Amino acid sequence: MKKFQSILITGASSGVGEALAEGLAGESVFLAISGRDEVRLNHVAEKCRSLGASVEARVIDVTDQAAMKTWIEQVDQAQTLDLVIANAGVSPGTSGESVTDAKMRRMLEINVTGVLNTIDPIIPKMAERKTGSLGLVSSVAGFRGLPSAPGYGASKAWVRSYGEGLRGSLYADGICVSVICPGFIRSRITDQNNFPMPFFMDAPKAAKIIINGLKKNKARIAFPLPVYALVWLMSSLPVWLTDTIFRKLPTKE
């Protein structure tokens, strides 16, 4: 199993990102974490330091390509990153709320462009070293277009497809790529939902599953298993057969 000593995580100020940072923290571990809320991010940094890690916390917008490139290259030059997790993501609106065009475009910038801005600067560095791992956070919502959340599902489908393609294309460069597809995890995103969320999971438990999968270089880290099995089955069936079922899902966007 892989052992990660120098790690960068985006969206680490809450939810799964926070839990991943704390789960990976330890003696002789360096963490570079980013988020948009300075107070929450600093709180996570202090918790990780108390666990023995050396931490650099940076308030940064993942959609800022130039800033992300500069930050990631500076961190890598100083610490030689062996794991980068593109975790930052949003889902606009609460249940039953409409999503404006501006909110939808902002979501796509964060969920799609933000992933590119996180991994593009480090790929050439890892390729030169012929080693390194990438974790791209998608969702089980990315396996089939959902009438309840078409924009969010589409953004996560892009991440899943891109990550799975990268795994093959970067194999010869010695870079491991894992696509992470969680179900409903306690976070600021799910706090907005007012509909039933089957197999709801706390973030620390989810982080343990993700970290274990990354250490094993799993191609796809999808969970909880019953939810993953269901969406996999639904994505395999003809659309005309599943349309009626999906139309009855509660509205997220």
Q: So which residues are the catalytic ones?
A: 152
75 burial class (0-12, 13-18, 19+ CB within 10 angstroms)?
buried
The answer to whether 29 touches 9, Cβ cutoff 8 Å, is: no
Using a 10 angstrom Cβ sphere, with 0-12 exposed, 13-18 middle and 19 or more buried, the burial of residue 114 is: buried
Close Cβ partners of 29 (under 8 Å, ≥ 6 residues apart): 4, 5, 6, 7, 52, 53, 54
Q: How far apart are CA 21 and CA 220, in angstroms?
A: 20
Q: Tokens 């940094």 correspond to what residue?
A: 45
Pairing of strands 133-137, 83-86: parallel
Cis peptide leading into residue 224 (ω within 30°): yes
By CB atoms closer than 10 A (0-12, 13-18, 19+), residue 238 is exposed
151's CB contacts (< 8 A; 6+ apart) are 92, 99, 104, 107, 108, 253
